[in-house]
Amino acid sequence: MAALLAVFLVGWGWSAPLWLVALFILQFFRDPVRTITDEPRAVLAPADGRVVAVEKARDPWLERDALKISVFMNVFNVHSNRSPVEGTVKQRWYHAGSFFNAALDKASTENERNALWLRTRDGQDISCVQIAGLIARRILCYVEAGAELASGERYGFIRFGSRVDVYLPLDAQAAVALGEKVTSGVTVLARLAAHG
């Protein structure tokens, strides 16, 4: 609106920076339709971005050792978040915090974050954590405990640069490597072991 008003008041030349800002915001809030990967036991990428961690770590939400896979979203990635698995939301936690660069390890424990505990149909527990970044100041989560999520279903959004951590059972097999680019709902991050 401001860019359009500037065209009438001061002309196209002076309104160009406002049009660039408007285009940036439009591209940031895009949320394209995805063809969701339908592979048994697949853990899908919950966000578009780059893999910044594939490691054994302590899951602070379920208090267990886990396989942690983290995806960093820069300002040019789609920031809609999707469920990595089909399952029930057992619990949701929100913690206020700092706004360090989301690519840093300390972002997982010190930044503003929203965590979901998901349980699959065969009883496997997964934590999926939205983490605000240096610029991001708003985490949106559309679900609460008791919600049923399909694999790849949208469940939240983080505004501007941010990160999503996924904590998996230790017997899950990672399917991505550090630095790999992933697409939410499409890229397989890992595969869960057969249970039950």
Question: Domains in the chain and their CATH numbers?
Answer: 1-30 (no CATH), 42-191 (2.70.70.10)
Indicate if the alpha-carbon torsion angle 153, 156, 162, 164 is positive or negative.
negative
Q: What confidence category does residue 25 fall into, taking pLDDT thresholds of 50, 70 and 90? A: low
Per-residue pLDDT at 136:
55
Q: What confidence category does residue 2 fall into, taking pLDDT thresholds of 50, 70 and 90? A: very low
Per-residue pLDDT at 101:
65
Q: How many other C-beta atoms lie within 10 A of the C-beta of residue 174?
A: 17
Tens of pLDDT, residue by residue over 34-65, are: 788 888 899 999 999 999 999 999 999 999 99
The percentage of the chain sitting over the pLDDT mark of 90, rounded to a whole number, equals 56
Assessment of whether the complete model's pTM goes beyond 0.85 = no
Per-residue pLDDT at 11:
53
**CA distance linking residue 194 with residue 181, whole number of Å:** 27
Cβ atoms of residues 47 and 77 within 8 Å: yes
| Mean of the per-residue pLDDT values of the chain | 84
* Residues involved in catalysis: 162
Between 53 and 132, the more confident residue is 53
Order of strands, edge to edge, in the sheet holding 173-174?
A: 42-44, 188-191, 173-174
Question: Phi-psi category of 49—alpha, beta or left, where left has phi over 0 and alpha has psi -120 to 50?
Answer: left
